[in-house]
């Protein structure tokens, strides 16, 4: 899921991470692997967001999905794994 600037800001206010800029070389490679998403990196690894099944009434929510973790052998390297939904839910905006 590709987020707008405002949605990225809203996500970062609820989820401790950094967004990878769209023009970063890693973002281009990640898009080739995973499709068009906004990618977030934090101390746990690499994440994206996907629409939540059922959000709160009147709000649009997304779930954080982990795609990779930091390597134990090389802490500067990510190890990809199957997408792993987390319990983290971010409210993007209210439906009017």
Contact 33, 56 (CB under 8 A): no
b (16+ CB within 10 A) / e for 22-61: eeeeebeebeeebeebbbbbeeebbbbbeebeebeeeeeb
Question: HSE-up of 34 (CA within 13 Å, CB side)?
Answer: 24
Report the predicted TM-score, pTM, of the whole model to 2 decimal places.
Answer: 0.88
Calculate the dihedral angle through the C-alpha atoms of 64, 61, 5, 37, rounding to the nearest 10 degrees: 40
Q: What is the DSSP string of 54-88?
A: S-STTEEEEEEEEEEEE-SS-TTSEEEEEEEEEEE
When pLDDT is cut at 50, 70 and 90, the band that residue 72 belongs to is confident
Mean pLDDT of 54-82: 85
Q: Is the pLDDT of residue 96 over 60?
A: no
Selected residue with higher pLDDT from 72 and 79: 79
pLDDT one-digit tens code per residue, 6-64? 999 999 999 999 999 999 999 999 999 999 999 999 999 999 999 987 655 556 899 99
């Amino acid at each position: 899921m590709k987020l707008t600037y405002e949605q990225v800001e809203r996500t970062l206010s609820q989820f401790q991470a950094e967004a990878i800029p769209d023009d970063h070389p890693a973002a281009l490679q990640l898009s080739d692997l995973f499709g068009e998403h906004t990618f977030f990196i934090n101390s746990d690894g690499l994440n994206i967001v996907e629409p939540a099944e059922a959000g709160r009434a009147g709000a649009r929510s997304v779930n954080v999905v982990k795609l990779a973790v930091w390597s134990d052998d090389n802490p500067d390297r990510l190890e990809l794994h199957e997408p792993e939904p987390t319990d983290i839910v971010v409210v993007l905006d209210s439906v009017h």
